[in-house]
Each structure stands twice: as C-alpha cells, then as structure tokens.
A and B are shown apart, each in its own frame.
Chain A
Amino acid sequence: MDKRTVFSGKLLPYALLAPQLAVTLVFFYWPAGQAVYQSFLLQDAFGISTEFVWFDNYQQLFGDHAYYQAIFVTAVFATVVTVAALSLSLLLAVQADRALTGAGIYKTLLIWPYAVAPVVAGVLWLFMFQPSLGMLSKGIRVLGYDWNPSLRAGDALILVIVSATWKQISYNFLLFLAGLQSIPKSLIEAAAIDGASRRRRFWTIVFPLLSPTTFYLLTVNLVYVFFDTFGIIHAVTRGGPAGATTTLVYKVFNDGRGGGDLGISAAESVILMLIVIALTAVQFRFIERKVNY
C-alpha cells in the first residue's frame, strides 16, 4: 500500500482520520471492551450491586442445556442455508454464464432480492406457509401432513431456512457469475478440443479455478446466517417453538432484553466475537494461499 510520492503533513493526516477513528473507538472498541468486562460481572436483579465473578457466567452458560440447543440450532441452520444457497446459486450462475439469449434478463431477475431485507424475506415466506391460509401450506395439507410452524420445531426451522436461503441466492449468484466470467475461455476450449465432456470440464477446470470465490462466499454466508438472519427469526418465529429456532445471536438479544441477565448476555457476545474472529482468520489464510490447484 505504498505510493511513490506522498504529501508531507504533520497534523492533516490525523485530522482526516479523526472522524472515522472517533466513531470506531466510541461505538466499536469501547462497547466491545464493555462486553468483555461485563461478561465477568454478576448483577443483582435490580441492577443495584455488581460483583466481579471471574468465569462464573461462562460456567453457567456451558452448564445450561438451552445454550447447547442454541449452538446446535445455529450449526444446523448455518450448514443447511450455506450449502443450499451456495449450490443453488452456483447451478444458476453456471447456466447464466453460458452465452444464452436473454442472459442479461435472467441476471436482472435473479439479483434484485439482494436489496430485500432478511425480515421481508421472512414475512414473505411466513405468509406463503401460514398454516390456515398460506398458499404452500394448503398444498402440504393436501399431501396429508399437518404443517404448523408455530407448534412443530422442524416446521419452524424449515420456514426460517427457506427464507434465509431465498434471500442469499442473489448475492452468491452474482459473485459466482463474476468468478465464472473471469475464467479464461481458452482453457475450457482447449479441454473441449481434447474431448472432455461438459461435466468433466466443470469439475476438473471450472470448479477448481472458482475455489477462491467459493471460499470467500463460504465465510460470507456463514457470517450472514449467524447475524443477518436475526430479523427473520425475530419476526417469524421469535425463536420458538420451545427454542427450536433460537440461534446464538437471538439468544444474546433475548437473554439481555429489558436489562435481563446482562452478564450472561455479554458472555454470549464474547463467545460470538471469538467465533467471527476465528472465521475471519480462516478466511484470510485461505485468501493468502489463493486456494487453487
């Protein structure tokens, strides 16, 4: 990141940096530090006295069945959404990458859900799957299954998974398409001349060359499911029934709500931060190595 010539200036660069640094310190580092500090505190029910309790909050958390349930739900949710969103969008991007007539129209029609808020996606599918009047749930009833996401854990999870996947396809599609278009066509043509079939060309040339994009999307999708899907869960299932859709982020929100148990909520925040830092670190290692064959 070095320029050959630069300006000289003693105070000006600091003045230019000041707004961003100020906002970052006040609304980012300070609260993040607070979260770490609070995770070691125990506050009584009235918030009058606080006591330093070392790792008690963490111990309590890891002795709590509900926390393990949240970890499990988050893991299932993240895996299914990531795999489904990545494979569906790759399938679509590969088709759109072929020089088809009308490819531009397909592209426009597929990318606009990027602009849709996760909560909007949730409400759209909630309406389609509403047990008594939803268009899709009527179909499911005809098949003889008593679909009801407000009572059945599995149904609720399916509902949030479908909403979250639907919303994420457009972003993945866009980046996959950009990745595909940057692969030199000469490689593919050479393989075709050698008699490699379409399937073979895809798995031995295109897919490996696409791996930097795939790995990038993998982390982006995981972070998306971890955090951005909060809106879907909050509006559609409220974490229920019986915690079946309570993810880690929803639990941070729920446990600390109305001044609830801030120590526990802070401990959960800290664990989440560690997870994201780990994910990002993994991503950077892969990007450095430019995952390629």
Chain B
Amino acid sequence: MVENRPWADLVSHLILLVGVVIVVFPVYVAFVASTSDMATIANGQLSLVPGPNFLHNYAQVLFHGTESSTKQPMIVPLMNSLVMALGIAIGKIFISLLSAFAIIYFRFPFRLTAFWVIFITLMLPVEVRIYPTYKIVSDLHMLDSYAGLIIPLIASATATLLFRQFFMTVPDELLEASKIDGAGPLKFFKDTLLPLSVTPIAAMFVIQFIYGWNQYLWPILITTRDNMQTIVIGIQKILLVTDALTEWQAAMATTILAMLPPVIIVVAMQRLFVRGLVETEK
C-alpha cells in the first residue's frame, strides 16, 4: 500500500460489493425460482426467500422431466455433458502433449509447417464452418454419437501452444541427463516430462472441461435424438413452449444443474485455472 486512505478503501469495498451483487443476484433469483412452485412464479410473486419445493423440483427435473415441454429426465443429458466435456478435455490434452513434444524435442523436415498448420486453427472457431463440418461428420456416420460430439472439437491449437511454451522452459540439462542414462524419447516423455507437466495439464483440463461442457451450437446441430442431447441444450428446450406455459421452476432448476459442475471445478481449482488462463495470454 502506497498510502493509507481509509475513505478510498471504503469506496473500493463498496464498488467490489456492487460488482459481487451484480454477478451473484441473477443466479440467486434463479435458485429461488427453482425451489418455488409454478403458480407463485407465474403470478409474479416470487420473493427473495427460497421456496419449499427444492427436493420436489430437482427430483422432478432429474428423473422425470418437465410436465408439458420436454418430458425428458435431465439425468441423461447431464451424463452426456459429462462424457462430452471429459472427452474433449482429455482428447485435447492427449493430442496436444504429443504434438508439442514432437515440435520441441525433434528436428525434422516440415517442422515449422506442422507448427503453423496447427497454429492457424487458433483463429477459426467451429461456428464459422458449421455446415461443411456437419456434412463431414454426417458422411462419417458420427451424428448422434459421442465421437461426433467430441472429435471435431478437439482440433484446436490452444493446448498445443501452452504445452509448447511450457516445454521450452524445461531445462535442457534434464534431457541431457536422460540421454546419458540411455533413455529414449518415449521414456523421457513418460518419466521426466509428464511428471513435470502436471500443473499445466491440470490447468488445461479445467479450461477445456469448461469449454466442452458449455458447447452449444455444435451439439444442437449434430444431435437429433433426445437421449444424445447435452444439458446446456436441455435448458433451451424447456423454454420452447409458449411463454404462459413455460415451467420456469423446471427451467431454472435445469439452469442451476447445468452450471453447477463447471462452477464447482473452477472454484475448487481456482489457483490452477487462473494460472492456465493467464499463461495462454502470453
């Protein structure tokens, strides 16, 4: 602290408190709605105190589904989201570790070409090439499958760049020592490099898990069967019926369920994930 100014501190606290209220309030209202009954919400009488229907509403949404719109138990899309997010996170980390290892620890023709081929994909999200990608996935018979949800989205450069950056900071002496000990590339990768990379791998995992969990456009395009849909899409389907009939308590319970897993991961692994985000900036 440069100088001691209690009034300035008070103003800072106030600004931060207002910020926290803006961030938390909509979620709190959603939670209150998810514990109330339909009539209370429909009459516009929602208060700021949680209602009595917490267990009933969540059990209904998880195991039976809404009454009028989707009628789908949300436990299924919840599991689909989990599979998709894990698949994308693990897949990205796996292929990126391998390619970053090749680019940093080998010299071979077209090394820089390979790097740029991967690097350029950083710029173009799936949203700009949806229909051609859809066609390919459909030709490969991967519509309505976990492979179709996961594989096209693991082609991305973020993780490769992060691991490349991290490998650059690993001291050369380690490699020299391993070579003297007679270790081949794969042994060095497995026994030296991987154990050192635990932190960046964990940081990437958090970021990519959230990325995968929150995908929206892609699952909407390639899933048609109800039992392949993800929880994030499930929210939108509940809203489809006309306004007056929207089961807001169910919609809000689904919303809370959809945000809970990634939020828990972020809060639990805050330090790691902050580090990962800040690293990818460089």
Contacts and interface: CB of A to CB of B under 8 A. Distances in A.
Interface stretch (A49-57, A61-69, A71-79, A171-179): A171-179
Given A17-B114, A174-B277, A178-B278, A273 B151 contact: no
A280 B23 contact: no
A166 B117 CA distance: 35
Given A127-B30, A174-B278, A277-B123, A117 B98 contact: no
B99 A115 contact: no
Nearest to B115: A1
Contacts of B243: 130, 132, 150
Given A6-B105, A20-B99, A192-B2, A178 B44 contact: no
Given A6-B107, A114-B266, A115-B210, A256 B27 contact: no
B130 A169 contact: no
Interface of B is mostly: helix
Contacts of A132: 44, 243
Contacts of A203: none
Interface string B198-228: 0000000000001001101100100000000
B102 interface: yes
B131 A95 contact: no
Interface residues of A, number: 98
B248 interface: yes
Given A99-B1, A120-B235, A133-B42, A34 B135 contact: yes
Interface string A112-126: 111111111001111
A262 B16 contact: no
B124 A20 contact: no
B76 interface: no
A143 interface: no
A12 B185 contact: yes
Given A32-B124, A95-B12, A12 B118 contact: no
Given A13-B108, A38-B132, A95-B16, A127 B262 contact: no
A115 B29 contact: no
Contact of A124 (B1, B46, B184, B255): B255
B123 A166 contact: no
Contacts of A276: 123-125, 128
Contacts, number: 288
A88 B18 CA distance: 11
A158 interface: no
Interface stretch (B54-62, B63-71, B152-160): B152-160
A274 B149 CA distance: 26
A115 to B, nearest CB: 4
Nearest to A33: B132
Contacts of A175: 277-278, 281
A170 B128 CA distance: 25
A117 to B, nearest CB: 4
B98 A17 contact: yes
Contacts of A234: 216-217, 220, 236
A3 interface: yes
B258 interface: yes
13 contacts: A5-B172, A7-B105, A10-B108, A13-B108, A96-B16, A110-B23, A111-B270, A112-B266, A119-B216, A123-B239, A166-B23, A189-B2, A269-B132
In the A-B complex, the 8 residue pairs with the smallest Cβ-Cβ separation, listed nearest first, are: A31-B132, A34-B132, A117-B214, A115-B262, A231-B216, A16-B102, A13-B106, A95-B12
Interface of B: 1-3, 8-9, 12-13, 15-16, 19-20, 22-24, 26-27, 29-30, 33, 41-44, 46, 94-96, 98-99, 101-108, 111, 114-115, 117-118, 121-125, 127-133, 135-137, 151-152, 154-155, 160, 164, 168, 172, 175-176, 179, 184-186, 188, 210, 213-214, 216-217, 220, 232, 235-236, 239, 243, 248, 251-252, 255, 258-259, 262-263, 265-267, 270, 274, 277-278, 281
Given A124-B255, A135-B29, A231-B216, 10 more contacts: A1-B104, A3-B104, A3-B105, A6-B175, A7-B188, A24-B155, A133-B41, A175-B278, A269-B132, A273-B124
